[in-house]
Every structure is written in structure tokens, then in C-alpha cells.
Structure 1
């Protein structure tokens, strides 16, 4: 069994536990929260034996082999490095870090301590994304990648009423790009690598984070267009356009239906059945990697995570989105 600790007690942690519980060799052993009351309540709900309010203590306790990190983005690097120094494997919720500088430090810690580090970006683990990879050659020469993820945030109403929750607080390295835009950027990187040119625009909110934005990226023979938002809603699908046809993806963040629409008017459904719990696949990949003694995923690779953050760093620079965590890189 792989004994897991969880850092964070929010809804995403609940979703991870539910999905990971269906993976062989998963055992939930510990929970960390800044509040002992919160940790105890969560532990009781999920029958967790050990509770902690100190990361170092949990990492050194001998009671966990791996950790799932779902703390606010600004804490990801510190929490991950503290765990890896004690030989703990780390599955870290997206975005894996506040910026590329932090991720480089995390990768160095993973290599130094011989442990697995993986970004918990679920969409590239789904059978639907594998279907895209396996069939993309049918499109001929690729000319454009288009991805859209615009979802009106339930916390935006509170923001407009004067309450700035974590989702719109730059202290926690948050905002639309980090929360939703990454779902558009990461698959692009996984499919096509690093772009040559990045041009970004966005709408900044008074709190200091972005409410929505767009990125145009140029490659040698194609371009990419990305739209994301937490202050508007859209049902647009995403699309990869080639000279022979297009792959249409129903939802870039949680790929389900995938269809090739050929230029001659025919279509081909290449969708793949998947577990109803979308986080199942990232948990399965992570546990299988540990069992195999591997320290890097071949899907959510260090390179993919790093290039994704480099793109987002540049986009943030262009729209004036700065986090307190960015200041550390300049010291």
C-alpha cells in the first residue's frame, strides 16, 4: 500500500480522495491543516488515523509515503520541498508552483532526494487526451490550436459585493490564468512544445489578479489561440485544426467527447470511455510510477510543467499580473 497524506481540506481534496480510493494500493493515512479543529473534523469524516498542523512533522513522521498537495498555489513549492527532503513522493495540484523559478527548485529537490514529483493536471491523463494524441496525424499539417475555458466563478459575486476570497487574491498566486487558463496551456505544450512567440492580453481586477484573458502563441508553421475567464461563461468547444480536418474537443479541462471533422464533410468519433471520477487517472499514474520506482511521469513531465509555467510567467508579465512569490526570484 502507498500511504498518502493530504495537504488541504477543500473540495478538490475531497474529489481526489474519492477518485484515488478506487486505485489499487491507495491508503489515506494522514491529513494536514493549519487548524487542528479542521484537521480533526476532516480526519473523522474520512477515517484518517493521523492529523498534523506542521508540514515538517508530518513529512518526518514515518506514517506516509506520498502526499497530495492542494494548499493555495503560493504554498505549493514550500510544502512540496519540505516533503521531498524527507523522501516523500509529491503529487501537487495544478498549477504546480507560482512560477517557473519555484518549479526549478522543486525539480532540483526531487532529483536530489530521489523521489517522484508530478503535477496533478488531470486532463492530459484522461483517455480522451490519449485519443487526441493517437489520431492527430489524421489531420495532416496542423495550422491552429484553439482552446477555451471560461467559467463564471461562484466566488465572483462575493468579490463584486466587496469580499475578496482566495480565488481573487494575488497573495495566494491566484486568478483566471492560474486557475483555468492552465487547462488550455498545458495540453498545447504536451502536444506541440514551446512556442516561438507569446502575446497576451487580459482584464485585471482591482484586487490585483486577472479576471479573464487571451493568449496568442506562434509556432513555426501554426499558431494557438487561448481564451480563459472567471468573470464570464462560455460553452465553446476547443479545436485542433489541420489541413485535412479538425479535432473538436467538448471540454478542454475534462475531455469527454472527441470528434474528427474532416474537410470532405465526414466525421469520426474517437471518444474513449473513461471513469466518471476524472481524477482517477492522475492518481493511478502517480501510484503506478511509485510502484515502478520511477521519479518522473512520461505524460505530465518536468519539461511540460516547466514550459507551461514559463508561458504563464510571460503572459503575466505582459498583462501586469504580479504575485508576492515572484519577488523571491529577484533576491
Structure 2
């Protein structure tokens, strides 16, 4: 994989601490706004990135790349993913994939037409602990209730209350608790259960954006509640409850450091099958293999999941009367 990184924010800094351990990834370029030039040059020196760009057209036309990692703010995902696909590059796009299912469908169709790999970088779908949870679901019997809570007070909320609207709370930039935190819960649940029968989002809305909320998903015989908050905090945890036992997860579902399975017969086991301490490692190993093998079938399967998630996002935002972008 000959990779260009689009962006220079916190997610890129985190990504760079891990990517050198993923075999066959060459960091060919990093592209960002002129204001981030000094930061990008520091990253270039520290991580042996070949070129630095502040112009996207120049990066896409000049850099020796076959893949772009779009790690820009949420509202820019659609635009820059489309530019990269039109330039004939495979794309790995950070979560949330885009802001609407219409945008997602358009990009998926463009990638398919051009024979390119397009995937969303959503860690939990690739983690070995997530695969282990899937394997152990049957032992729980009929799944009755799933509850996920990812609540994390944001220091940006103080500024928001004072009238300063930063991207994390800006509806025009794809902000809000659903897109920032609850998106992980949605991926977690849809990956286990598929598309829900109905979606309702009970959101606390301030200045046209959800600062916290409870998302309710209905499945045949199963009720799901996904809570996320940026205006308050609580222990971050998730549970899957069946009529024969439960799985309990401490911590956020985008990390999945391990889980506990507890069955009605008294059997209790703590499971941790992680491959690497960094949550992004396994997904990028998978992406590298997908691109090296030009495995469009695998990419299409992953995109089907992302499209199902975007349908839930559309329904949730509509139910709460929130418009992004």
C-alpha cells in the first residue's frame, strides 16, 4: 500500500504511532491545510513520510500513491473521498463515513464503477475481540437486550455553552454525540444484529445539535439502547443479555480491550484475544491485505455494513429533527 494521509489532527497523530508495525505500508505523502504545514513537516521527519502537500490536486496527481487515508473532519469526508476515487485511488475513510446515506451510496457506486477499494475505518469491526463476541453470542441463547453507553464529557461543551461553536458541536460540520460517539455503538450493534426494524433517537438538542441522547433500535425479540453523551459522563460499558447468559464489556466498543461472559449455570470467563494494544492495528492489517489482493468482494461486503449503519444514522437524525451539513 502506497499511502497518502489526508489530515493532520489527533487521529492522524494516533495512527502514526501504530502504522509502522503494519507490513507493506509505505507512507508516501501527507496532505493538509497550510496552517498545518509545520505539524505535517514534524510528522514527515518523525515517521519518514516522503512528501508534504497543502494542495489536494497536486497530491493526487504527483504523489506515488495508490491509496488515500481520509482522516479529515467529518464534513469533509465525502468531498475528499470523492476526489480521491475520481483520481483512481483506493480510499480508507475515517468514521463516520459521511453525513448521509445518499452520500455513502454515491461514493460506493463510484468506487464500484472504477474498480477501487473503498472502506470505512471503524475499528471494532476488525478487532479479534469483536470476532470472539460474535462466536460466543449463540451461548447466550435468545438475545433479549443490548445496552451500550459511550458517554464522555467534552471540554468543548463548556465553550459551546458560552457561545463558541467548535466542530464537535457544529451541525454544519457533522458534529454531535451521535456522529462522534454513538456511531461506534451503532456499528457494534449492526455488526452483530444487522439492520433494525425501527429506529428512534431521543436526543438532548441544543442549538440544533445533539449534545447527548438515547438511540433505541428494535429487532425481532430484541431491544437495543445506545447512549452517548458529550455533555455529561458515566462509566463507559456495554452488555449483551440473552436468556442463557450475558456478555459484559468494560470500556468503549471501539477499543474492546476484552469482555466477560457469564452464563446462567454459573460459568464465568474473562476473554481477551487482542492482537495488538493499538485499536487501529487490526483494521489496517485488513485494509493492506484487501488492497494488495484487490479484494473488491471483501470491500463490497464491508461497505454493505457501512451503508446499513448510515441508514440507521439517517433515521436517527430525522427522528430527532437534526440536520447535518
Please give the TM-score of this superposition, normalised by the length of structure 2: 0.94
Alignment correspondent of 2:21:
22
- Counterpart CA distance in 2 for 1:256 and 1:298 is 26
Helix, strand or coil for the counterpart of 1:71?
coil
Cα offsets for 1:47-75 (capped at 9, x unmatched): 32212222222122241111111111111
Cα offsets for 1:210-258 (capped at 9, x unmatched): 1001111111121111111111111142011111001111222210121
- Counterpart CA distance in 1 for 2:17 and 2:236 is 29
RMSD of aligned Cα (Å): 1.7
Alignment correspondent of 1:219:
219
Helix, strand or coil for the counterpart of 2:62?
coil
- Report matched runs for 1:106-185 at 5 Å: 106-185=107-186
Alignment correspondent of 2:64:
63
Residues 214 and 228, structure 1, Cα contact 8 Å, conserved in 2: yes
Shift of 1:133: 0.9
Shift of 1:288: 0.8
Alignment correspondent of 1:327:
none
Shift of 1:45: 4.3
- Report matched runs for 1:40-55 at 5 Å: 40-55=41-56
Shift of 1:303: 1.4
Residues 176 and 229, structure 1, Cα contact 8 Å, conserved in 2: yes
Shift of 1:188: 0.8
Shift of 1:5: 0.6
- Counterpart CA distance in 1 for 2:42 and 2:107 is 31
- Asked whether 1:81 is paired with 2:50, we answer no
- Counterpart CA distance in 2 for 1:200 and 1:300 is 27
Question: Unaligned stretches of 5+ in structure 1?
Answer: 325-331
Helix, strand or coil for the counterpart of 2:200?
strand
- Asked whether 1:240 is paired with 2:240, we answer yes
Alignment correspondent of 1:192:
193
- Counterpart CA distance in 2 for 1:295 and 1:68 is 17
Residues 290 and 296, structure 2, Cα contact 8 Å, conserved in 1: yes
Shift of 1:298: 6.4
Alignment correspondent of 2:31:
32
- Counterpart CA distance in 2 for 1:317 and 1:7 is 30
Moved over 6 A (4+): none
Alignment correspondent of 1:93:
94
Residues 34 and 53, structure 1, Cα contact 8 Å, conserved in 2: yes
- Report matched runs for 1:289-300 at 5 Å: 289-295=290-296, 297=298
- Report matched runs for 1:244-255 at 5 Å: 244-251=244-251, 252-255=253-256
Note closer, same or farther for the CA distance 1:300–1:280 as it changes in structure 2 (3 Å cut): farther
Helix, strand or coil for the counterpart of 1:60?
helix
- Counterpart CA distance in 1 for 2:268 and 2:55 is 55
Residues 5 and 30, structure 2, Cα contact 8 Å, conserved in 1: yes
Counting matched residue pairs gives 322
- Counterpart CA distance in 2 for 1:197 and 1:143 is 16
Residues 150 and 180, structure 1, Cα contact 8 Å, conserved in 2: yes
- Counterpart CA distance in 1 for 2:33 and 2:95 is 21
Helix, strand or coil for the counterpart of 2:21?
coil
Residues 5 and 66, structure 1, Cα contact 8 Å, conserved in 2: yes
Please give the TM-score of this superposition, normalised by the length of structure 1: 0.92
- Counterpart CA distance in 2 for 1:286 and 1:308 is 19
- Greater shift, 192-201 or 300-309, is seen at 300-309
